[in-house]
């Protein structure tokens, strides 16, 4: 699902101020012209709003090294063990198999 533009610091401050003054979330969303859902999400966890959740397996090779391995592998018939030596990385055989 796509995400919209994050709340600005001004909007965040306005939401907190309005909520402290007893304004409902529905009314806050109307005043700042943002969805009810974004206001609700922000008020649930103001300090956690906008933090990115990282999914997937952690990468072992950085982009430049990975590109170098792919380039070397595509230009020759070198074994994976030799490619690891050329790239000077300490990774397992399955990691170097791209």
Task: Name which residue leads in pLDDT, 65 or 42.
Answer: 42
Q: Which residue, among 21, 18, 16, 17, has the nearest Cα to 44 in the 3D structure?
A: 16
- CA 61/CA 89 separation, integer angstroms: 8
Kindly report the average pLDDT of the chain as a whole number. Answer: 79
**pLDDT for position 83:** 67
Q: How confident is the model at residue 54 (pLDDT cuts 50, 70, 90)?
A: low
For residues 75-92, average pLDDT: 68
The mean pLDDT value for 40-54 works out to: 83
Q: How far from chain centre, in Å, is Cα 44?
A: 20
What is this structure's pTM?
A: 0.52
Q: What angle do CA 31, 35, 37 make, to 5 degrees?
A: 125
């Amino acid at each position: 699902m796509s995400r919209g533009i994050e709340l600005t610091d001004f909007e965040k401050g306005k939401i907190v101020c309005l909520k402290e003054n007893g304004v409902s979330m529905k009314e806050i969303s109307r005043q700042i012209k943002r969805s009810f859902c974004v206001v609700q999400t922000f008020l649930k966890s103001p300090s956690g709003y906008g933090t990115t959740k990282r999914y997937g397996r952690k990468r072992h090779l950085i982009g430049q090294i990975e590109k170098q391995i792919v380039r070397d592998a595509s230009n020759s018939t070198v074994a994976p063990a030799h490619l690891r030596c050329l790239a000077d990385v300490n990774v397992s055989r399955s990691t170097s198999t791209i």
